[in-house]
Structure 1
Amino acid sequence: MVCDRCISTVRRLLNDLGYEVNSVRLGEAVISETPAEDELHDNADKLRQDGFELIHKNQSALTEDVKSNLIGYLKRIENEVDPPKLSAFLSDKLHRNYSYLSNRFSKLEGTTIEQYMIRLKIERVKELLTYQEMTLSEIAWKLNYSSVQYLSNQFKKVTGQTVSDFRSELDELDRKSLDAIR
């Protein structure tokens, strides 16, 4: 997944800007000193040039935390037979009531957490289809879909094309990285 590469890139960028980096995880970087306000603007521009955004506001930070945890949840879905419910997972990770997270996310993003998660899953389906190493049944099982038909219907609803059409157009693929889903 692209997320580890993003973490590595942010660490390098912050080091290049002269900061001592304490930690970097998806959606958050901790540095040893607090930059001045004018430095923040300059650094935000430099980060933006490499496709990253500096988040100042608490609400924006919360939605970015939700997004990064949704990517983590997607990994968990793939690796566990019986993953927790999405609402329980997010509440546990972010130490907030799920309805609060859901309301904040919907207001700022214009979509629900569930719809965003569906788009993430469909992008992952596209990725797995691109590798051509798994059948659609295996992909449905791996991503915790109740049936291949349900996955196929959701794929068509989100992408506007059938899985078969997608497979036949792999050369003209228009995929997004998971952390670029908006």
Structure 2
Amino acid sequence: MQTLKIKNMVCDRCIMSVKTLLDTSGIAYGDIELGSVPLKKELSAAKQKSLAEELESLGFELLLDKDYQYVEAVKNAVTKLIHQQESALKKYTISAYIEEMVGKDYKWLSSLFSNKVGDTIEHYVIEQKIERVKELITYDELTISEIAESLHYSSVAHLSNQFKKIVGVTPSNYKTTGKRKPLDKI
């Protein structure tokens, strides 16, 4: 069975978009996850090319290179951890979570990620956490202290310092002035 790897699938709406595209294209698939679509039967080269073009028109990219598939798997694991499974931040180290989700040694993945992306997994995790902080600030349901705890920061000061370093303003100032980035642009 063929599994497609798709770049920029970062949320449930992305999954719905890909499902809709596959349904209208008559492509049979299994349970779709972020960045991964198991197919029930192999696609011809022509059908795969057509699908790649349609995905691209929606802002996705069909990944054919194995190394980039691993990079995308790391990104999807981090996105899922930070944006959907915050409780797992307390149970796992980020490296252990990534190893478990991707099925490869973290040291190897870290090296590959740095070579292909030009940045570290750790920095990518920080960027994702900061985007999550922005999202939670925007909702105005949690205090900065509660946000720091939910994202497993050691302290509010640590969160605030990291936030200001990346965003340029404190979390409090961001509340009145900031804009968020789409997750696929991180």
TM-score, normalised on structure 1? 0.90
Identify the residue that residue 177 of structure 1 maps to in structure 2: 182
8 Å CA contact retained: 2:110, 2:121? yes
CA distances 1:32-77 after superposition (whole Å, capped 9, x unpaired) = 222222322221111111111111010011011111111222233x
Which shows bigger deviation, 79-88 or 104-113? 79-88
Amino acid at match of 1:139: I
Identity %: 39
> What's the secondary structure of 1:96's corresponding residue?
coil
Identify the residue that residue 119 of structure 1 maps to in structure 2: 127
> What's the secondary structure of 1:29's corresponding residue?
strand
Query: Among residues 70, 82, 104, which one is paired with 1:62 in the alignment?
Result: 70
Equivalent residues in 2 for 1:126-137 (5 A)?
A: 126-137=134-145
> What's the secondary structure of 1:111's corresponding residue?
coil
8 Å CA contact retained: 1:120, 1:181? no
> What's the secondary structure of 2:63's corresponding residue?
coil
8 Å CA contact retained: 1:27, 1:64? yes
Count of matched residue pairs = 176
Return the offset for 1:81.
Answer: 7.3
Equivalent residues in 2 for 1:38-53 (5 A)?
A: 38-53=46-61
Query: Among residues 95, 104, 107, which one is paired with 2:103 in the alignment?
Result: 95
Amino acid at match of 1:60: Y
Query: Among residues 94, 104, 107, which one is paired with 2:112 in the alignment?
Result: 104
Which shows bigger deviation, 120-129 or 6-15? 6-15
Which shows bigger deviation, 122-131 or 88-97? 88-97
Which stretches in structure 2 are left out of the alignment for 5+ residues? Answer: 1-9
Q: Distance in 2 between matches of 1:57 and 1:65?
A: 12
CA distances 1:128-163 after superposition (whole Å, capped 9, x unpaired) = 000111111111011100111110110011112222
8 Å CA contact retained: 1:123, 1:176? yes
Return the offset for 1:96.
Answer: 1.4
TM-score, normalised on structure 2? 0.88
Identify the residue that residue 5 of structure 2 maps to in structure 1: none
Which shows bigger deviation, 135-144 or 35-44? 35-44
Q: Distance in 2 between matches of 1:44 and 1:20?
A: 16
Query: Among residues 5, 15, 26, which one is paired with 1:18 in the alignment?
Result: 26
8 Å CA contact retained: 1:140, 1:151? yes
